[in-house]
Structure 1
Amino acid sequence: MSGYGFRLHDPLALVAALGTRAAGALAALSAAAWFDFFLTRPYQRFTIADG
């Protein structure tokens, strides 16, 4: 599953390199949120399961 995280990294790196600092920070927060939403259990929720 870690390979999917790199799909979030490429647009983030592009925005951080070409955009402003605020745009890079917003992209980083967005990537972290979507990583949590789609790739951690329970899926499609913004919580992380215990144990």
Structure 2
Amino acid sequence: MSFLQIFLAIFLPPLAVAMEKGLTSAFWINLILTCLFFIPGVIHAFYVLTK
């Protein structure tokens, strides 16, 4: 994981997921999680990036 991915996962989780996986279901799940509650979106972004 690069510094840019870590930075984006913390501050813009959907963008980090979109850069890694594209506009797949992981992106949409992360977008919903980030809109509802920010912290679960960050956790999900780190999960997707490390998986």
Greater relative CO (CA pairs within 8 A, separation 6+): 2
**TM-score, with structure 2 as normaliser:** 0.45
**TM-score, with structure 1 as normaliser:** 0.45
Which structure has greater helix proportion? 2
